[in-house]
Amino acid sequence: VDLFFGEAPGRVIVSVSPANLAHVVEAANAANVPCMHLGAVGGTALVLEGGSAPGMKADAVSIGVAALRASREACLDAIVGAR
């Protein structure tokens, strides 16, 4: 889960509707920003299809929304202190 949340400026995950995916990819390409489709969000999990991003295995990944939320809420605790 730490792969998705942190203070690394070169790594951003963007969630867009399927209708806007082509526009986002086009805009990233026009700005010479690397972009790849990782998977889809639905139900109670973020499911990532196989990919080649640094730190990812080629196998599919499924992470529960509750775990993602907990990681996101705690991501700055080491820097600014726990709540």
Predicted confidence at residue 9, as pLDDT, reads: 67
Predicted confidence at residue 5, as pLDDT, reads: 55
Predicted confidence at residue 57, as pLDDT, reads: 59
Q: What are phi and psi of 41, to 5 degrees?
A: -105, 135
Dmax over CA atoms of the chain, in Å, equals 41
pLDDT tens column, 11-50: 778 889 889 999 999 999 999 988 888 776 668 887 776 6
Predicted confidence at residue 36, as pLDDT, reads: 83
